[in-house]
Amino acid sequence: MTVEFARGKSYVVDRGKPKTRAGQGMLAGLDVVIRHFFSAFGKKVETQADTSGVFTVQYPEERLELPQAFRNFPILLFDDATGHELCTSCFQCERICPPQVIHMSQATDPVTGKAIPAVKEFVIEYDACMSCGLCAEVCPFDAIKMDHEFELATSDHLSMTVDKAGLDRPISYYQAIAPRFWEEAKDSALKKLAGNMKRRSGNIGITPSFIGKAQKAAPAAAKAVSAATPAVAAKPATPPAPIGKNMSEDKLARLVAIRAANAGGAPAAVAAPVAAAADVDHGGAEVAAPVAAAPVRTAPSGGTSAALSTGVPFNADNILGGVPENTAMVEDKIERLKSIRSGNIGKGE
């Protein structure tokens, strides 16, 4: 029955005992389940292979680190200092896009009517985008990149057609989410941008949020580009960084600390690093500060990312003791809920 192959053979799988026994097989299976059940107590997760302990990630507050290669929807990059977009409207991405959701038009000189290496309008239909990443791959100017933002659920369908104002992100933002990829692309991208900036005039090729602000003259552009690269101060809305990948025994205490920090009125400080979150007293406000002061981070649309910071924030009150305001609950039920929750917290500690 067995067949010999070049490197290997075929073999017949053993079907085991023909007769079913009186439940020993089920007991053996139950044994596995029980072992897993007990290993869930007290066992810490050190590595991926060892996920038999408790490895729940408290999602909104606590996040796993996304790999740099992660891709969700495309964004356009612009230079931090001058606001010049890297895009030159070469139409490569529009052509390669398999579901054909990218649309753009080329900027022209208002006087001569000649084409300028800058993009006039740029629209991506996020609702039909399939996140394949071919646009980012094909872009010769590294102007279009894949974002790590994935919480884009919205009830407003039309808001998923995103224009330049919603697509533009500073280079420093991309550098923060994918440092290795930007490092590879940096030199050629900035060199090409400097060349293209010389051929632009006025507001052409400037990201919408920069228009109207004081702009540096075109000749100074080359310098500005190089100045923008490290951009530590202008850290944009920090990409979701992990609070701590592994759950430790003081996890609950830490979560309470984060929630207390969030209650200070700051937008959900999802990116708060462990150390900052641990000492709540003075750390809370500082953690939130860079997030709140993030420059020109236009939300992809009115109702999507904005909801992250303005809609129902996770604060200590509505998780630990309080209930959402609009919930119709009778008084004693609220009290009961509070006591249960505080009791649970006590147990955890």
Degrees, nearest 5: CA angle 178-184-188 = 120
Minimum CB–partner distance for residue 242 and another protein (Å): 13
Any idea which residue has 């003075």 for tokens?
A: 282
Residue type, 287: V
Minimum CB–partner distance for residue 26 and another protein (Å): 5
Among residues 158, 134, 159, the alpha carbon closest in space to that of 144 is found at 134
Minimum CB–partner distance for residue 201 and another protein (Å): 30
Residue type, 252: L
Q: Residue from 58, 106, 131, 309 that binds another protein (CB under 8 A)?
A: 131
Residues 169-228 that bind another protein (CB under 8 A): 180
Please report whether residue 5 would count as binding another protein according to CB under 8 A.
yes
Q: What's the distance, CA 301 to chain centroid?
A: 16
Minimum CB–partner distance for residue 7 and another protein (Å): 5
Please report whether residue 1 would count as binding another protein according to CB under 8 A.
yes
| # chain residues binding another protein, by CB under 8 A | 51
φ, ψ dihedrals at 76, nearest 5°? -110, 145
The strands making up 161-162's β-sheet, listed across from edge to edge, are: 102-108, 115-125, 161-162
Binding segment (CB under 8 A) for another protein, from list 2-10, 245-253, 309-317, 318-326:
2-10
Q: Where are the alpha helices (DSSP H) in 199-249?
A: 221-228
In sign, the C-alpha dihedral spanning 175, 181, 187, 189 is: negative
Please report whether residue 146 would count as binding another protein according to CB under 8 A.
yes
Please report whether residue 138 would count as binding another protein according to CB under 8 A.
yes
Please report whether residue 153 would count as binding another protein according to CB under 8 A.
no
Any idea which residue has 């996890």 for tokens?
A: 251
Degrees, nearest 5: CA angle 86-154-100 = 45
Binding segment (CB under 8 A) for another protein, from list 108-116, 134-142, 166-174, 279-287:
134-142
Please report whether residue 21 would count as binding another protein according to CB under 8 A.
yes
Please report whether residue 26 would count as binding another protein according to CB under 8 A.
yes
Q: Which is nearer to another protein, 137 or 286 (CB)?
A: 137
Q: Are 136 and 71 in contact (CB under 8 A)?
A: yes
CA atoms within 13 A on the CB side of 37: 6
Q: Which is nearer to another protein, 152 or 287 (CB)?
A: 152
Residues 47-86, one symbol each (x = binds another protein by CB under 8 A, - = not), give xxxxx--------------xxxxxx---------------
Please report whether residue 9 would count as binding another protein according to CB under 8 A.
yes
Please report whether residue 111 would count as binding another protein according to CB under 8 A.
no
> How many other CB atoms sit within 10 Å of the CB of residue 187?
10
Minimum CB–partner distance for residue 178 and another protein (Å): 10
Q: Residue from 53, 60, 133, 273 that binds another protein (CB under 8 A)?
A: 133
Q: Residue from 12, 111, 153, 232 that binds another protein (CB under 8 A)?
A: 12
Q: Are 270 and 60 in contact (CB under 8 A)?
A: yes
What are the CA-CA distances from residue 126 to residues 48, 160, 177, 287 (Å)?
33, 5, 20, 31
Enumerate binding residues for another protein (CB under 8 A). 1-3, 5-17, 20-26, 28-29, 31-33, 47-51, 66-71, 95-96, 98, 130-134, 137-138, 146, 180
